[in-house]
Amino acid sequence: MEFSSTKSNEKEDHRSDLKTLNLYNEIISTLPKRNGWKSDEVYQYQGFWHTFFYLEGLLSAQQHFKPQTNDIILSSFPKSGTTWLKALSFAIVTRSSFDISANPLLTTMPHECVLSLESDLAHNSFHRNQDTPLIGTHVPYTSLPKSIIDSRCKIIYICRDPKDTFVSLWHFLYNASFKGVDSSAKEDADFEKAFELFCDGVSYYGPYWNHVLGYWKASLESPERILFLKYEDLKNETLFYVKKIAEFMGYPFSLEEEDKRMVQKIVDLCSFQNLSRLEVNKSGQLHGRAYLIEKNAFFRKGEAGDWKNYLTPMMAARLDQITEQKLRSSGLTFNVGSKV
Ligand code: A3P
């Protein structure tokens, strides 16, 4: 992968960084603050909870980020299938440049193929990958940089049953190490405490329900611009949704490609089984400004319904009840039930 940064760009960015970082610090210091799941603090900005570094990145992106024509934003609540969506979208848009057997996904992690708005690109959009129009983000719809909303970039959003999202997030957070967070925090892996906070809306980019509803409502208003997906649907009917994603992005499969089983080849390339066994995703760490994460933490089980192994029936019923209440009258449902 080629990134188009130059030394002088980096220096320039760094200079403006020092000035603006102080300003962001000042803004953040005035925001409502709470203890997060680990020994960290989260800050409430525009109705959502953020860690310090991601919020700094979001403020910077809101101020500086300029999308390119035809950019496609891949958005999600954390642990809802971001890695999978990035891999599928990347394979779709690069299929005419690379043979499937030589796709960069075989040697580069999906998060390095598709960079993140509020971490990788926040302070230096020169670092964007010029080879693809794809940009990832967890930023809530209402906090997206105005430049993205005004540009009418297409957006694909993926969400997941909140019970599985919570369980996946809990496992992930206690494996990941975020800068500014005490690394001994692994020991306070308090499942019940995290559950209470999640129900209360306090999790990175939470409240979960507001995040999902922001994109859901926007997708109802502008279905041609925002494609709303659920992890469970993608899991059940992967071929159908891969075709739908490709069409939505403006990269539809031709009849000839379908005859040559291109859709199935992309599904296989991006399957949990395949990606999780690749050396590039099995070992090493993902380094960002705000985090240091074992790459294999992004590939745990890749199943729908794993919550049954972790949540008590009471916890599951409680989350379902909150979901029912928050999504009522929105038309959005998760038909996954709370029965263990
Ligand atoms: P589990 O923790 O339930 O296994 P994100 O990519 O948004 O961080 O979400 C991570 C979740 O997606 C994890 O769920 C992970 O295992 C799962 N996942 C990662 N790659 C996947 C793939 N190719 N297919 C299906 N699920 C995948």
Q: How far is the CA of 164 from the centre of ligand 1 (A)?
A: 10
Residue entry with tokens 């992690």? 109
Tell me which of 185 and 57 has the higher pLDDT.
Answer: 57
206 CA distance to ligand 1 middle (Å) = 19
Residue with more model confidence, 338 or 225: 225
**Encoded tokens for 282:** 């099995």
CA distance readout (Å), 249 to 104, 178, 203, 243, 253? 20, 33, 30, 10, 11
The preferred substitution site among 159, 168, 291 for testing ligand 1, maximizing ligand atoms within 8 Å of CB, is 168
β-bridge pairing 33-35 and 41-45: antiparallel
Across 144-156, average pLDDT: 95
As a whole number of angstroms, the distance between CA 286 and CA 249 comes to 27
Mean pLDDT of the chain: 89
Mutate-to-test residue for ligand 1 from 92, 298, 310, highest number of ligand atoms within 8 A of CB: 298
pLDDT greater than 50 at residue 5: no
176 — pLDDT class (breaks 50, 70, 90): low
Q: What is the pLDDT of residues 77-93, one digit of tens each?
A: 999 999 999 999 999 99
Q: pLDDT tier at 10 (50, 70, 90 boundaries)? A: very low
Q: What are the residue boundaries of the structural domains of the chain, listed by start?
A: 33-327
Q: Which residues contact 326 (CB under 8 A, 6 or more apart)?
A: 209, 210, 213
Please say if the pLDDT value at position 339 is more than 80: no
Phi-psi region of 148 (alpha: psi -120 to 50; beta: other; left: phi over 0): alpha
**Of 84 and 20, more confident:** 84
Query: Across residues 236-257, what is the average pLDDT?
Result: 98
> Quick one: pLDDT band at residue 181, thresholds 50, 70, 90?
low
233: pLDDT strictly greater than 50: yes
- In the sheet that holds 48-51, the strands lie side by side as 33-35, 41-45, 48-51
Residues contacting residue 62 through CB under 8 Å, at least 6 positions apart: 143, 145, 146
> 103 CA distance to ligand 1 centroid (A)?
20
Question: Ligand 1 atom 25: the closest Cα is on which residue?
Answer: 302
Ligand 1, closest atom to CA 271? 23
| 53: Cα within 13 Å, side-chain hemisphere | 14
Pick the residue whose CA is nearest to atom 19 on ligand 1: 299
Using CA atoms, how far apart are residues 252 and 96, in angstroms rounded to an integer? Answer: 12
Measured in angstroms, how far is the CA atom of residue 243 from the centroid of ligand 1?
20
Residue 12: pLDDT band by 50, 70, 90 thresholds? very low
Q: What is the pLDDT of residues 31-66, one digit of tens each?
A: 999 998 887 899 999 999 999 989 999 999 999 899
The CATH code that applies to domain 33-327 is 3.40.50.300
Of the candidates 117, 118, 111, 70, the residue with the CA atom closest to the CA atom of residue 87: 111
Write down the pLDDT at residue 337: 58
Spacing, Cα 78 to ligand 1 middle (Å): 10
130-143 pLDDT tens trace: 778 999 999 999 99
Measured distance CA(98)–CA(294) in Å, rounded: 27
Ligand 1: residues with CB < 6 A are 76, 78-84, 164, 168, 171, 270-272, 275, 298-302, 306
Active site residues: 138
pLDDT at 9: 47
